[in-house]
């Protein structure tokens, strides 16, 4: 059976590199960062309210997506172009859910450029 974590990468070899390199997918750390209830699908009224409020954010906003993300699907990420038209949007073409792992240099370039401008 293929572990679900393999769904997070464009190239599953990156998962192996993380594990061999001493990294891990630590659920305790994930839970501390994401908090309880983070893994659910927002829909209905909740989704509509959040989307309406995105237009009200005045701070600079950067949206990064991985073309092969099977957690936050690209079709959902692309919706930010409509709901937050002021945001800078970047789709990383050879990444899954972790573009900072799979396309580290490109991700860092985009982050540096964005932070430099803002």
Residue 93's domain comprises 4-117
Cα within 13 Å of Cα(6), Cβ side: 6
Per DSSP, what are the bridge partners of residue 90? 64
Per DSSP, what are the bridge partners of residue 63? 89
List the beta strands (DSSP E) in the chain: 62-66, 88-92
| Structural domains in the chain (count) | 1
Sequence-distant (6+) residues with CB within 8 A of 61 are 84, 86, 87, 88
**Is the pTM value of this prediction over 0.85?**
no
pLDDT digits (tens, 9 = 90+) for 35-64: 665 555 555 555 666 677 888 888 999 999
The CATH number covering residue 11 comes to: 3.40.50.1820
pLDDT digits (tens, 9 = 90+) for 58-91: 899 999 999 998 878 888 888 888 888 899 999 9
């Amino acid at each position: 059976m293929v572990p679900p974590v393999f769904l997070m990468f464009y190239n599953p070899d990156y998962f192996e590199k993380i594990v061999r390199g001493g990294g891990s997918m630590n659920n305790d750390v994930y839970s501390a960062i994401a908090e309880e209830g983070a893994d659910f699908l927002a829909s209905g009224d909740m989704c509509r309210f959040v989307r309406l409020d995105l237009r009200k954010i005045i701070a600079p906003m950067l949206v990064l997506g991985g073309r092969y993300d099977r957690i936050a699907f690209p079709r959902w990420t692309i919706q930010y172009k409509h709901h937050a038209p002021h945001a800078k949007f970047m789709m990383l073409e050879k990444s899954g859910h972790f573009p900072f792992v799979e396309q580290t240099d490109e991700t860092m370039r985009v982050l540096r450029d964005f932070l430099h401008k803002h």
